[in-house]
Amino acid sequence: GAVNFPQVTLPIQATGARFMHVHRNVPGILTGINNIFASRGVNIAGQYLQTDGEVGYVVVDAGATRDGAAILEEMRALPGTIRARILYER
């Protein structure tokens, strides 16, 4: 079945990157995501999470990074990941 996520209006950041991650709603996903950024020394400026039973959706606003593609690949490799992408990078 389709999963409907709430309509959320997030402020556009002048610098940095915004990542989106859809995942199974299981313990440890946020820890895994946060560890990816921490291991690269990238600050998380904001994080927005919504879960709906079986599925979770998180948007991460990160500080400036040149590692966006590598971060995305690590996010995609996390167990439980359904989809991940970069929404923008400045």
Instruction: Report pLDDT digits (tens) over 43-68.
Output: 999 999 999 889 999 999 999 888 99
Q: Is 67 helix (H, G, I), strand (E, B) or coil?
A: coil
Question: What sections of the chain are H helices per DSSP?
Answer: 29-39, 68-77
Q: Average per-residue pLDDT in the chain?
A: 91
Q: Which two tokens stand for residue 8?
A: 């959320």
Q: What is the pTM of this model?
A: 0.89
CB atoms within 10 A of CB 72: 19
What does each C-alpha distance from 79 to 13, 33, 52, 70, 75 come to in angstroms? 29, 11, 18, 16, 9
Domains of the chain: 17-89 (3.30.70.260)
pLDDT tens-place string over residues 3-42: 666 666 778 888 899 999 999 999 999 999 999 999 999 9
